[in-house]
Amino acid sequence: MNADASGDLARVAAGLRQEIRSKVDGLRRQLTDELKRLDRTVERRARETAARLDAVDARLDTLAADQAVLRQHVERRLRDVAQRTGRLEGEIQQIEGLLRHQQGHVPVDLDGVPADLRVLVDDVRAAERIRAGLLDDDARAARRRDIERCEQDEHTLAETRQRALSASRALAVRTAGGWAFRRAVLAYRSERSRMSELEAQLAAAREKRAQAEQELRHDAAQQQAFRAHPGADAADRLAGRVRDRIDDAVAEYHLFPPWFVTVLGHRPAPTRAAQWREAAVQVVLYRITFEVTDRLLALGPPPSGGHRLVRYDAVQAALRGLEE
Amino acid sequence: MGATRDRLLARQAELRVRHDALGGLGAEPPHDPALLAQVFAGTDELMTVVEELAAATARRRVVVALALLGVAAAGAVLVAFGVLPAYWLLAVLALLVTAVLLWLTTRAAPSRAGP
């Protein structure tokens, strides 16, 4: 191959390279333009979609608010209807009671104690009187704390006395006026003063401990007496008898006394008859045990404290359970 | 002063005897309450003598402090009238500081101890 042919080939190659490069550049520009156009389209569509989602969110919020308002409205209406139903039920019961009263029906006597139950009730009342004298858990814990505090004070006093004794020993054996002697003077002065304070404190604590121990002993004896008393078991038997009487009264459509009706109504609701009966048994047992004779208040006035208050609260809780 | 110190030593010896009676100097609880009460009574008596000694010492310290104050005042007057040269004021100042320190440490000492 001569030099001219080589030069021609080189020129052709350069021309081809130039052409390819220009075509690649053109394609690159075309692709870039296309990509930019696609990017703009995607961006526009994303904005549109976001706007639509915002609109959907706003609609959902509106719907939720409307639903909450509607729910409140429905609940209000339901409460209203429940109140009206309760009033109507009460009025029906009152009319029923009046009618029965006019027909000569006498309310069933749940307070009275039949002769066959007299011994049982006396046992229960006696057991309850013993239980009324028992300390409650808080009182027992307080007495135990008194005893522990006294023991702790005794321990502290013993330690302080021991330190004072050590200082006294140093005073007895160290050279008078020396450094160790003067330190012992300071130590003894401080410990002796603390000892006097603790002794006074301990005297009061011992009195409280003696009283607490006496009360705990008495309480233990009372607990023993309560456990041994036949009345503790008799309460269950009496509850069974009261339950039978209430069942009979409901089955026979007897008229219940006013104190019973005010808290339990004339008849149990079908859905919670068992709960109603247990609450009724508790109310009647409370009245019999504590000899409550109030004609309107089922449990009489609230007691001031002691185990009777615990029983009172338990019965009230059972009655509240019926309203829920 | 000597008499009080003799009393202190006598009380100390008596206390040592009571400690021995309690069960020796290495006695461990529980102690006999009567002997324990005797030990504490003896220690309280010893403390009374210690307080008397401390009170006497405090009185002496106050007297010394007042005397130092008087000497310092006299020195100051002498310097003021030119009898003594001015550098004597340093000695006057030192006396003053010593007197004040003595006074302050005396006031800080407890006036009475024991229950």
Query: Measured between alpha carbons, how far is B98 from B104 in angstroms, rounded to an integer?
Result: 10
Q: Does B9 touch chain A (CB under 8 A)?
A: yes
Q: Taking 60 as the threshold, does the pLDDT of residue A210 lie above it?
A: yes
Number of domains in chain B: 1
Q: What percentage of residues in chain A have a pLDDT greater than 90?
A: 52
Distance from CA of A133 to the nearest CA of B (A): 40
Q: Does B110 touch chain A (CB under 8 A)?
A: yes
Q: Taking 80 as the threshold, does the pLDDT of residue B9 lie above it?
A: yes
CB contact under 8 A, A172 and B12: yes
What's the distance, CA A226 to chain centroid?
30
More confident call, B58 vs A267? B58
CB contact under 8 A, B40 and A192: yes
Residues in chain A closer than 8 A to B36 (CB atoms):
161, 165
What's the distance, CA A6 to chain centroid?
103
Computed over every residue of chain A, the mean pLDDT equals: 89
Which tens digits make up the pLDDT trace of B25-83? 555 667 788 888 999 999 999 999 998 888 888 889 999 999 999 999 999 999 999 88
Query: Among candidates B2, B110, B115, B5, which has minimal Cα distance to A168?
Result: B115
User: What pLDDT was estimated at residue A1?
Assistant: 55
CB contact under 8 A, B115 and A196: yes
User: What pLDDT was estimated at residue B1?
Assistant: 62
Quick check: is B25 in a domain? Answer: yes
User: What pLDDT was estimated at residue A305?
Assistant: 76
Q: Does B12 touch chain A (CB under 8 A)?
A: yes
Q: Does B49 touch chain A (CB under 8 A)?
A: no
Token pair in block for residue A99: 């009618």
User: What pLDDT was estimated at residue A14?
Assistant: 92
Q: Taking 50 as the threshold, does the pLDDT of residue B115 lie above it?
A: no
Which of A99-108, A163-172, B57-66, B92-101 has the least mean pLDDT?
A99-108
User: What pLDDT was estimated at residue A322?
Assistant: 83
> Is A267 in a helix, a strand, or coil?
coil
Residues in chain A closer than 8 A to B12 (CB atoms):
171-172, 176
CB contact under 8 A, B12 and A171: yes
Rg (CA), chain A: 47
**Concatenated DSSP letters of B4-23:** HHHHHHHHHHHHHHHHHHHH
**Concatenated DSSP letters of A278-300:** HHHHHHHHHHHHTT---SS-SS-
CB contact under 8 A, B43 and A173: no
Which of A189-193, A308-312, A315-319 has the least mean pLDDT?
A308-312
Torsion angle in degrees (nearest 10) through CA of A239, A243, A246, A252 = -150
For A104, list phi and psi in degrees, rounded to 5: 95, 10
User: What pLDDT was estimated at residue B26?
Assistant: 58
Average pLDDT over residues B1-22: 87
Residues in chain B closer than 8 A to A161 (CB atoms):
36
Which of A19-28, A34-43, A161-170, A233-242 has the least mean pLDDT?
A233-242
Average pLDDT over residues A256-263: 88
Rg (CA), chain B: 23
Quick check: is B113 in a domain? Answer: no
Q: Taking 60 as the threshold, does the pLDDT of residue A183 lie above it?
A: yes
Quick check: is B104 in a domain? Answer: yes
Residues in chain A closer than 8 A to B108 (CB atoms):
none
Average pLDDT over residues A77-104: 85
Q: Is A70 exposed, middle or buried (0-12, 13-18, 19+ CB in 10 A)?
A: exposed
Which residue pairs from A38-47 have beta carbons closer than 8 angstroms and sit at least 24 positions apart in sequence? none
Q: What residue of A is the nearest CA neighbor of B14?
A: A172
Q: Taking 50 as the threshold, does the pLDDT of residue B114 lie above it?
A: no
User: What pLDDT was estimated at residue B44?
Assistant: 93
Count Cα atoms within 13 angstroms, Cβ side, for A61. Answer: 6
What's the distance, CA A217 to chain centroid?
33
Distance from CA of B22 to the nearest CA of A (A): 11
CB contact under 8 A, A193 and B115: yes
Q: Does B35 touch chain A (CB under 8 A)?
A: no
CB contact under 8 A, B9 and A192: no
Average pLDDT over residues A305-315: 86
Residues of A with CB under 8 A from a CB of B: 158, 161-162, 164-165, 167-169, 171-173, 176, 185, 188-189, 192-193, 195-196
Quick check: is B14 in a domain? Answer: yes
Query: Measured between alpha carbons, how far is A219 from A240 in angstroms, rounded to an integer?
Result: 30
Q: Does B36 touch chain A (CB under 8 A)?
A: yes
Query: Measured between alpha carbons, how far is A304 from A291 in angstroms, rounded to an integer?
Result: 16
Q: Taking 70 as the threshold, does the pLDDT of residue A168 lie above it?
A: yes
Domain of residue B23 covers 2-108
Residue with tokens 């089922």: A298
CB crowding A229-259: b at 16 or more within 10 Å, else e: bebbebbeebbebbbebbeebbeeebbbbeb
Q: Taking 90 as the threshold, does the pLDDT of residue A19 lie above it?
A: yes
Which tens digits make up the pLDDT trace of A100-155? 888 888 888 888 777 877 888 888 888 888 888 888 888 899 999 999 999 999 99
CB B48 within 8 A of CB B78: no
Token pair in block for residue A318: 């059972």
Q: Taking 70 as the threshold, does the pLDDT of residue B111 lie above it?
A: no
User: What pLDDT was estimated at residue A56?
Assistant: 96
What lies within 8 Å, CB to CB, of A130 at 6+ separation is: A222, A225, A226, A229, A231
Query: Measured between alpha carbons, how far is B91 from B72 in angstroms, rounded to an integer?
Result: 8
User: What pLDDT was estimated at residue A71?
Assistant: 95
What's the distance, CA B91 to chain centroid?
27
Handedness of CA A216, A221, A223, A224 (dihedral sign): positive
CB contact under 8 A, B29 and A158: yes
